[in-house]
Amino acid sequence: MQDHVQESDRCVVGGVQNSIQSMMDLLTCIRGIFISNPKDFWKLSLLSFSSVTLAAVLYCFHIYRVRKYLFHFEKLLAVIPWSIRQS
């Protein structure tokens, strides 16, 4: 993530990332306090799944914007055995 960040600013970027991660962890604990009924556990699970999915989608958009591709298909094809590729 920090490949294009100047070396002098990497600690700042890492500190901000750590702060955001700690804030989200605290938010998870607060949600657990407010939604404490075991019958409502599905709400916490849905919120957690939605947050992780949104983070993955945003990361994929960022990677595609920077690299212009998501996968190295030529490296993936090199791993597949020839018997499968010829079928």
More confidently predicted of 70 and 50: 50
More confidently predicted of 42 and 1: 42
According to the model, what pLDDT value does residue 77 have?
78
Residue 85 — pLDDT band, cuts 50, 70, 90? Answer: low
The dihedral over CA atoms of 71, 72, 75, 76, expressed in degrees to the nearest 10, equals 20
The dihedral over CA atoms of 32, 33, 39, 42, expressed in degrees to the nearest 10, equals -20
Average pLDDT of the residues of the chain = 86
Extents of the domains making up the chain = 7-86
Cβ contact 46:58 at 8 Å: no
